[in-house]
Amino acid sequence: MSPKHVIFKKVSKDKSVTVYMGRRDFVDHCDFVDPVGELIKPDVLLYVMLSCTFRYGRQDMDVLGVAFRRDLFLQTRQVYPELQDKEKLTHTKIQKKLLRKLGDNAYPFFFEFPDNLPCSVTLQPGPHDVGKKCAVEFEVKAFCGENQDEKIEKQSSVRLSIRKIQFSPEVSDVVPVAETTFEFLMSEKPLKVILSLTKETFYHGEPVSVGVDIDNSSSRNIKDISVSVEQVTNVVLYSNDKYVKSVAREEIEDSVPAGTQLRTVCTLFPILAYNKDRRGLALDGQLKHEDTNLASSSIVRQDVLKEVLGILVSYKVVVRMMACGFPLSHSETDDMVFEEFKRAYLKGVVYGDDDESPTEEGNNSAEDNLLIERLKV
């Protein structure tokens, strides 16, 4: 028996519009994005709108009626009356099944995502934050009206949130490796560090294995070594703001004394369950109160990268360590230097030809006279 396909259905309050959708998640496959489209059963003139909105402030931050949000994409199409013969349209498998089941009063609609739209991303609020979250959101809206520009009545409209999610094919032959060399002052040889991953693409919930190779040829001792996975979030709107947060971290207890090596593998778990209370982390977009996960890495074509607004996410692995210095003190030596002592080096003393008997020069002060008297004794 084949599994049942879930159809999402939503009806307007006045029951003039009914929207049917076979799914609410639409995948960005890097080279193409799943199109949006299913069926509508209208009773009057009907339009459908696909929108992408970037909300960069909470609802309670709206000032003087100006909301902290920006529409990144809006497209509206007339569905009924039809502008094109229904039979000539290309229908998906779900649309064909729904047309057979719902009859002639059902009308398909179809949208394509442009290349310069980000995926659905939400910034995780703090424990005490209320209202709508900062997020990139997608929505399908069906409404009735005399034309597409008139005010939309809530009673005769249907709004259905959808998500644009990122998918990346796994490339098995690419093994990321990063190598760097540190040179220290007063050390003849450098410190060499190599980081490596087992593969380039990791999926949600999958552990990340990191190989750490430290060749310490320097004169410093290396300690306090840690490896972490960091989430880099770029919020692109009026400016390009970058936020970096660690989502997984492991400390290496071993130290690397001068002239030794260390090779180890760390296993990190960058999952949301360990970061539930971290305010500002980027998450995949949510539908109502469903569980989600850390935001997927944004994969954008280079030719449209400068046009993309919203929230872009990437991840990096970072190793940190401390190089211990050396003690600085006076050195002990067996070398001896002989220096002839002369009383002329003392203040206020003048010697004659024999350099033995001091004489007073001019009117010496009381302190100078006292010093001379002491020297005579």
Q: What is the mean pLDDT of residues 136-144?
A: 87
- Per-residue model confidence (pLDDT) at position 231: 93
Q: What is the pTM of this model?
A: 0.74
- Per-residue model confidence (pLDDT) at position 316: 92
Give yes or no for a contact between 70 and 236, defined as CB atoms under 8 angstroms apart: no
Same domain, 193 and 309: yes
- Measured between alpha carbons, how far is 26 from 138 in angstroms, rounded to an integer? 10
371 pLDDT band (50/70/90 cuts)? very low
Of the residues 139, 166, 193, the one at which a domain ends: 166
Note whether residue 330 is domain-resident: no
Q: What three-state secondary structure class fits 35? A: coil
Same domain, 280 and 220: yes
The residue with greater pLDDT, 288 or 369, is 288
Residue that the structure tokens 């203040």 belong to: 347
Domain count, the chain: 2
Domain of residue 285, residue span? 177-325+368-375
> pLDDT (tens digit, 9 = 90+) per residue, 355-368?
444 444 445 555 55
> pLDDT (tens digit, 9 = 90+) per residue, 66-104?
667 788 888 888 887 776 555 556 667 777 787 777 777
Same domain, 181 and 162: no
Same domain, 12 and 127: yes
The residue with greater pLDDT, 322 or 149, is 322
Looking at residue 329, the DSSP 8-state letter turns out to be: -
Note whether residue 274 is domain-resident: yes
Same domain, 136 and 108: yes
Note whether residue 339 is domain-resident: no
Cis bond before residue 81 (omega within 30° of 0): yes
Note whether residue 138 is domain-resident: yes
Q: Collect all residues with Cβ–Cβ distance below 8 Å to 226 and sequence separation of at least 6.
A: 249, 250, 251, 252, 319, 320, 321
- Per-residue model confidence (pLDDT) at position 91: 67
Note whether residue 338 is domain-resident: no
